[in-house]
């Protein structure tokens, strides 16, 4: 084959995204984080970006934070701007599914391309260190006295911590629709509200509160796991007599209309990133449980999670 013909063919393959990763230059990736800085999605997106670079599959990663509506605002921008873009990713998770169920936004997650689940974790409920409420039992007693006087703070409406609070109300025989829940656009805002005493109880993944728990600024009172988490001395909701078990997970989507080759390339990049030293360090630092699930199995998992979360929310009286 003539050299010029070979080079033209090579260029055409690269443009179509069908070259193997070893034949392509490391990509310049764009990461949509549909939440304000400081929360779980932000931490996940930035940790993944670092891991992609550490694995040598990305030369640079730029981040765009667009918080609000359980990620629907960022999702809408991503769907409208990333069509056919093989270098764009969106961080998402169980919270987005819950927000879509409750908020019914005009944009749908099915418009984007499922790539991979990354991590799983459970929510922890905390109170400020100076709170007169010392235990979940104290919180429950106040809820029974006046449910509206207990102000829960966390992610957007429909988030896993919102669902867990509603599940608790139902466990107590209270009207879950009267839960006083304050949604925040990002973990940074929620943390500030908890530390400032502007909410009674805060809820989120353990990783978001870890430094404040360890420094004594927050008191953990319950975790939503089936059993106590390894190395973390926090009682479960279940062992305290409240059947509230609910997990959280985070993952990544690609833009709408990706070709099979583009989708495969992104999935391979993510898989390589999760094998990097940077990702291993992020898992340890944040107490995340690795839960890699790629491609069609992840797509099927999301469909199942939609149905499962909807059923839980119906039972909890949220919808």
Query: How far is the first Cα of the chain from the last one, in angstroms, to the nearest whole number?
Result: 64
Q: pLDDT digit string (tens) for 211-248?
A: 999 999 999 999 999 999 888 899 999 999 999 999 89
Q: Please check the confidence at residue 150 and state whether its pLDDT lies above 90.
A: yes
Q: Are residues 91 and 161 in the same domain?
A: no
Mean pLDDT of the region 258-285: 97
Q: Are residues 115 and 261 in the same domain?
A: yes
Q: Are residues 138 and 216 in the same domain?
A: yes
Weakest mean pLDDT among 12-21, 114-123, 216-225, 254-263: 12-21
Rounded CA-CA distance 34/32 in Å is: 6
Q: Which residues contact 83 (CB under 8 A, 6 or more apart)?
A: 255, 256, 257
Of the three residues 199, 221, 247, the one that is the final residue of a domain is: 247
Domain, as residue range, for 11: 3-120+249-315
Q: Are residues 179 and 208 in the same domain?
A: yes
Q: Quote the number of domains for the chain.
A: 2
In this structure, which long-range contacts are made by residues 210-215, counting pairs with CB atoms below 8 Å and at least 24 apart in sequence?
Answer: 210/286, 210/287, 212/126, 213/124, 213/126
Comparison of pLDDT for 115 and 20, the residue scoring more: 115
* Region for residue 184 given its phi and psi (left: phi exceeds 0; alpha: psi -120 to 50; beta: otherwise): beta
3-state helix, strand, coil in the chain (%, to 5): 45, 20, 30
Mean pLDDT of the region 4-15: 45
Element (H, E) at 205: strand 201-205
Weakest mean pLDDT among 138-142, 179-183, 184-188, 299-303: 184-188
pLDDT for the residue 60 = 97
Cα–Cα separations (whole angstroms), residue 10 to 16, 24, 89? 10, 10, 25
Of the three residues 247, 266, 299, the one that is the final residue of a domain is: 247
Q: pLDDT digit string (tens) for 153-211?
A: 998 888 899 999 999 999 999 999 899 999 987 778 899 999 999 999 999 988 889 99
CATH number of 156's domain: 3.40.190.10
Q: Are residues 143 and 90 in the same domain?
A: no
Q: Are residues 208 and 131 in the same domain?
A: yes
pLDDT for the residue 276 = 98
Q: Are residues 74 and 211 in the same domain?
A: no
Average pLDDT, the chain: 90
Q: Are residues 88 and 172 in the same domain?
A: no
With contact defined as beta carbons under 8 Å apart, do 214 and 55 qualify? no
Torsion of CA 217, 221, 226, 229, to 10 degrees: 30
**Burial class, 122, CB count within 10 angstroms (exposed 0-12 / middle 13-18 / buried 19+):** buried
Confidence of residue 310 (pLDDT cuts 50, 70, 90): very high
Q: Are residues 8 and 110 in the same domain?
A: yes
Global model pTM greater than 0.75? yes
* Region for residue 158 given its phi and psi (left: phi exceeds 0; alpha: psi -120 to 50; beta: otherwise): left
CATH number of 61's domain: 3.40.190.150
pLDDT for the residue 89 = 98
Q: Are residues 128 and 104 in the same domain?
A: no
Of the three residues 194, 222, 247, the one that is the final residue of a domain is: 247
Q: Are residues 168 and 276 in the same domain?
A: no
Q: Are residues 126 and 234 in the same domain?
A: yes
């Amino acid at each position: 084959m003539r050299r010029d013909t070979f080079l033209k063919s090579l260029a055409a393959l690269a443009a179509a995204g069908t070259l193997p990763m070893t034949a392509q230059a490391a990509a310049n990736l764009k990461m949509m984080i549909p939440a304000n800085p400081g929360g779980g999605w932000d931490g996940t997106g930035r940790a993944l970006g670092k891991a992609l670079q550490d694995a040598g599959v990305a030369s640079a990663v730029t981040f765009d934070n667009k918080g609000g509506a359980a990620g629907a605002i960022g999702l809408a921008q991503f769907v409208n701007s990333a069509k056919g873009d093989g270098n764009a990713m969106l961080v998402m998770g169980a919270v987005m599914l819950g927000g879509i169920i409750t908020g019914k936004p005009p944009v749908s997650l099915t418009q984007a391309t499922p790539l991979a689940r990354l991590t799983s974790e459970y929510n922890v409920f905390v109170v400020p260190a100076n709170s007169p409420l010392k235990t979940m039992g104290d919180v429950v007693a106040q809820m029974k006295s006046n449910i509206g006087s207990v102000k829960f703070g966390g992610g957007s409406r429909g988030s896993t911590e919102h669902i867990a609070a509603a599940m608790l109300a139902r466990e107590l025989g209270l009207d879950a629709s009267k839960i006083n829940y304050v949604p925040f656009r990002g973990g940074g805002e929620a943390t500030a509200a908890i530390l400032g005493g502007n909410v009674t109880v805060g809820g989120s993944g353990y990783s978001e509160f870890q430094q404040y728990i360890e420094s004594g600024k927050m008191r953990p009172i319950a975790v939503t796991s089936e059993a106590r988490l390894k190395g973390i001395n926090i009682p479960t909701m279940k062992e305290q007599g409240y059947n509230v078990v609910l997990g959280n997970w985070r993952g990544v989507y690609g833009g709408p209309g990706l070709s099979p080759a583009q989708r495969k390339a992104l999935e391979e990049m993510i898989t390589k990133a999760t094998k990097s030293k940077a990702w291993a360090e992020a898992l340890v630092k944040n107490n995340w449980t690795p839960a890699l699930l790629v491609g069609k199995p992840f797509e099927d998992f999301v469909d199942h999670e939609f149905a499962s979360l909807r059923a839980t929310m119906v039972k909890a009286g949220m919808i």
